[in-house]
Structure 1
Amino acid sequence: QDCSRERPPASPHSQFYSLKSACSTPVTIPASPFMKKLGCGTGVNVYLMNRNGKQTHSPWAVKKINSKCAKKQTNIYQKRLSEEAKILKDLQHPNIVGFRAFTTAKDGSKCLAMEYGGEQSLNDLIEKRREEGLPAFPVATIEKVALHVARGLQYLHSEKKLLHGDMKSCNVVIKGDFESIKICDVGVSLRLDENMQVSNPDAYYIGTEPWKPKEALEEGLITDKADIFAYGLTLWEMMTLSVPHLEMLDTEGDEDDDDSFDEDDFDEDAYYERLGTRPPLDAATLGGAYQRMVELFCLCTEEDPRKRPSAAHIVHVLESNSQLDDKSNEVIVID
């Protein structure tokens, strides 16, 4: 969840301390047991830090390396956390979680303090909805998430020339009843050049397997459109309440089963075959109100990245309520 930005510091020490805090006052981070755990990711835990003092002090989300990681892994995750702090400090957008501090906690661990974007990730809300037996999110909610996340991606791609590199519902945080929607976890972001291609030929697209586009799986050319593919699958998650390619495989033709995932029945070959492709979507069951989001999902998950829209185009279309695709005569076939 959590590769490389080329911004050489004056010295290792000045690099670290320049990131220490966005505030003028010293920052004290409590040890992990004294903070509420919000969630976890690859090698990290995220905690809620309530700040004492004035009522205007809003809480922070604090990301720390998991203390149970092996030393070799800890070094890798520490490097990613430092990189994320450098990247995040340079970002300022209403749809991206803000930087607050990069410092050392009382227990000696390095940690990244961020704006508290909301207690739940979009993935948490998807899982909760599925457990309650509810259908897809209301179309208005999906459209709101689609627009706000696209605005965040447009800022990253167009203004900051950065590929997020790990778009998925887990990396979208929600406050309240979708009052605010923010992208988080920029630790594996990659620099883009003027052609929207990853500028460092040695950079590796990390991502998360079910959301990876074909070009990442086949070590092809990575562009801003890799984020767009994963963005499309994030919308699919909201319409299906599922994980791309996973749950569809062992439930096909097995309607009597409950929602449990049986590892013995999992078809690994079929799963790997489907990675990087557009997962099936029952548009008929969703109904006509979802047509616009279904079309957006289809365009974003084209296997040819050149056929996917840019984040800027998505924002323009959603804000202006115009046609998603100029080719109005083209029929989109959904598996």
Structure 2
Amino acid sequence: MSEFVTPDVKRTRSSLKIDRETESSPKFVIPPSPFLKQLGYGTGVNVYLLERFSPLKDSYNSPWAVKKINRKTEFTEFSKRLSYEADILKSLKHPNIIGYRSYGKGKDGMPCLMMESGEKSLLSIIECHCENELGPLPAANILKVCSDVASALQYLHVTKRLLHGDIKSANVLIMGDFKTVKLCDFGVAVKLTEKGEACNDEDYVGTECWSASEVFTGDKITTKTDMFAFGLIIWEMIALSPPHVGKLNFEEDLDEQASQEDIEIWEAKQAKCDAEYFKSLGSRPQIPLSELDEEYLPVMEIFYACTESDPNLRPSAKQIVHSLNCLDEIHKSIGVKDEKEREVGEDKGATPI
């Protein structure tokens, strides 16, 4: 029966280390990257899972996510960006924003930002739906993402005067079965003025596929720039693809024995695809409406409103939160009404004793 026994799992431990000379607060020892499970990666950084063992409890605490700078980028802009993100994240306290835990260097001397661990990214869920041909995410799940992310953005825009600056599915984390949705990755956050405009000395970075038209035209960057990208997250959850990249799908292979003329024709076609892609950036991508039924109507209303080309026509995060709260109240009232009607029907159909 030994083959049915659960095997022992070897887990990499982090432990508490006390500085005996200064009796300072405990510091976590971060193992080198090869001993950590990689969760994801970004430009110049990798994200790992840190299992935290407590010697006092002789058990594991909740895991952390550790964002580490690659060795080759240690002294570049990415190192500064990670330090900046740590400062930003440390100042944020919101149920829909990933929690800050610590910042320092690992055993290998590499800068590390330690955060609450998100269970999975929205991007990974979208990719799973695409690979398994499951179709768009359920409308209820999309609305949950909209509600929680909009709540986080309202807090950032109004309370903290910050523009997230890189809203996309990879930076949205899903806890449980869409029980809670959290926003992460604040390395390119932009400080805002009282009017909700980017401060003069702040540069918008973002990711081009999710960037609004004002990013490319050089117009003012405002909170509405985040809202455009917010709308494109909805597009991702329906189309199961990053926005606009479909225009780059030039699948015609070039034969190794191709003539110079064939090469020039192939390059011309590739250049045309590239041109169409760059032309589409900052615009609203067409959504596959044929796959949607009426339960997606609220989703579509938010999508179309947020992806208006004119920033002034896009709703604020606060307006989205208010609208979704109203929609939730309507659904609750309908549910209560249906329940009462069902109870009345059962009473009428009951046989008197």
Establish whether TM, by shorter chain, passes 0.5.
yes
- Structure 1, residues 168-190: CA drift from partner, whole Å, max 9, x if none? 00000112322221100011001
For residues 283 and 309 of structure 1, the distance between their equivalents in structure 2, rounded to whole angstroms, comes to: 22
* 8 A contact 2:247–2:273 mirrored in 1: no
Does residue 83 (structure 1) correspond to residue 84 (structure 2)? The answer is: yes
Q: TM-score with structure 2 length normalisation?
A: 0.77
* 8 A contact 2:247–2:276 mirrored in 1: no
Does residue 278 (structure 1) correspond to residue 277 (structure 2)? The answer is: no
Q: 2:36 corresponds to which residue?
A: 35
Does residue 296 (structure 1) correspond to residue 297 (structure 2)? The answer is: no
Q: Structure 2: which amino acid aligns with 1:314?
A: I
Q: 2:63 corresponds to which residue?
A: 59
Q: 2:275 corresponds to which residue?
A: 269
Q: 2:171 corresponds to which residue?
A: 171
- Structure 1, residues 55-86: CA drift from partner, whole Å, max 9, x if none? 472111000012244x6xx4210000000000
For residues 204 and 312 of structure 2, the distance between their equivalents in structure 1, rounded to whole angstroms, comes to: 18
* 8 A contact 1:164–1:227 mirrored in 2: yes
Q: 1:332 corresponds to which residue?
A: none
For residues 194 and 49 of structure 1, the distance between their equivalents in structure 2, rounded to whole angstroms, comes to: 39
- Tell me the SS of whatever aligns to 1:52: strand
For residues 232 and 130 of structure 2, the distance between their equivalents in structure 1, rounded to whole angstroms, comes to: 17
The alignment covers a number of residue pairs equal to 286
- 1:121 deviates by 0.9
* 8 A contact 1:27–1:103 mirrored in 2: no
* 8 A contact 1:38–1:47 mirrored in 2: yes
Closer/same/farther in 2, CA of residues 31 and 234 from structure 1, 3 Å limit: same
Runs of 4+ in structure 1 off by over 6 angstroms are none
- Structure 1, residues 202-241: CA drift from partner, whole Å, max 9, x if none? 3210000100000011121000001000000001100110
**Percent of residue pairs identical:** 48
For residues 25 and 300 of structure 2, the distance between their equivalents in structure 1, rounded to whole angstroms, comes to: 47
Structure 2 unaligned regions, length at least 5:
1-23, 251-265, 329-353
Q: 1:316 is matched with which residue: 311, 322, 328?
A: 322
- 1:250 deviates by 4.0
The structure where helix makes up a greater share of residues is: 2
- 1:249 deviates by 5.8
- 1:282 deviates by 2.3
Q: Structure 1: which amino acid aligns with 2:178?
A: F
Q: Structure 1: which amino acid aligns with 2:137?
A: F
Q: 2:48 corresponds to which residue?
A: 47
Alignment of 1:127-276 (within 5 A): 127-199=127-199, 201-247=200-246, 250=249, 267-276=273-282
Q: TM-score with structure 1 length normalisation?
A: 0.81
* 8 A contact 1:283–1:294 mirrored in 2: no
- Tell me the SS of whatever aligns to 1:321: helix
Q: Structure 1: which amino acid aligns with 2:210?
A: W
Closer/same/farther in 2, CA of residues 282 and 64 from structure 1, 3 Å limit: same
For residues 133 and 289 of structure 2, the distance between their equivalents in structure 1, rounded to whole angstroms, comes to: 19
Q: 2:113 corresponds to which residue?
A: 112
Q: Which has the larger radius of gyration?
A: 2
* 8 A contact 2:64–2:117 mirrored in 1: yes
Structure 1 unaligned regions, length at least 5:
1-22, 252-261, 323-335
- Tell me the SS of whatever aligns to 2:102: strand
